[in-house]
């Protein structure tokens, strides 16, 4: 089988960071991604099963719930994005095997690129492109949103703070990830942007 898209870092060879950078970005490679939709009338059964199998309570709002290396992001009513470290294309088949006929699973590991962004000035950068409020009060750790950034469809969620700085993950369609990267590089330039390897 050909090398999977999600295991090949697309943005690994970018320019190194200037000293004193106040923004960081890293591509989360080898991430397992899959959308999960409850079949008609199976919401409660699916929630019970995910709770048993993964120890996660499926969020019923735009939020992220995590247990160990797997997390579920609420995208819409009856609709979630599963995110699992290091699982790449193995996530979708294992989810399918676990939930059977209660929901529909589609592998998105090659469909999205997920960027982890952070740093002291990260909110100032994101405010240039996101039309939603990402302030501490409106978007605490665990919050998520499906929206646009610089007119590119995006899913954003906030992780726990890292080194005392806010930390977000942003998923964009792989075919638009280069456009997102260009926007981010421009928007972050004034603060100094460090490209990290994840």
Partner 1 sequence: MRIPCPFCGERDLMEFAYHGDTEPRPDPTAADASQLFFDAVYLRDNPAGRHQELWYHAQGCRSWLVVTRDVRTHEVLGATLAKRGAA
Cα dist. 137→1, 126, 129 in Å?
A: 46, 16, 19
Binds partner 1 by CB under 8 A, chosen from 32, 62, 103, 166: 62
Binds partner 1 by CB under 8 A, chosen from 16, 19, 20, 76: 76
Q: Per-residue string for binding with partner 1, 118-147, x by CB under 8 A? A: -------------xx------------xxx
**Number of residues counted as binding partner 1 (CB under 8 A):** 13
CA–CA distance, 93 with 77 (Å, rounded to integer): 23
In sequence order, what DSSP letters do the residues of 143-196 get, joined into one string?
BEEEEEETTEEEEEEEEEEETTEEEEEEEEEGGGHHHHHHHHHHHHGGG-EEEE
Nearer CB in complex with partner 1: 20/76: 76
Question: Is 61 an interacting residue with respect to partner 1 (CB under 8 A)?
Answer: yes
Q: Which residues contact partner 1 by CB under 8 A?
A: 61-62, 75-77, 79, 131-132, 145-148, 153
């Amino acid at each position: 089988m050909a090398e999977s898209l999600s295991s090949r870092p697309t943005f690994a060879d970018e320019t190194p960071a200037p000293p004193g950078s106040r923004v960081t970005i890293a591509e989360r490679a080898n991430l397992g991604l899959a959308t999960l939709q409850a079949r008609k009338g199976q919401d409660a059964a699916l929630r019970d099963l995910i709770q048993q199998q993964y120890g996660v309570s499926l969020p019923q709002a735009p939020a992220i719930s995590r247990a160990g290396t797997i997390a579920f992001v609420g995208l819409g009513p009856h609709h979630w994005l599963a995110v699992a470290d290091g699982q790449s294309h193995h996530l979708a088949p294992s989810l399918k095997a676990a939930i059977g006929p209660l929901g529909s699973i589609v592998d998105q590991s090659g469909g999205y690129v997920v960027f982890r962004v952070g740093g002291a000035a990260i909110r100032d950068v994101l405010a240039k492109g996101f039309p939603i409020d990402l302030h501490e009060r409106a978007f605490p750790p665990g919050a998520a949103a499906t929206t646009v950034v610089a007119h590119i469809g995006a899913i954003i969620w906030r992780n726990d703070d890292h080194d005392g700085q806010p930390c977000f993950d942003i998923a964009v369609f792989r075919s638009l990830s280069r456009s997102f990267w260009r926007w981010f590089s421009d928007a972050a330039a004034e603060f100094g942007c460090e490209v990290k390897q994840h």
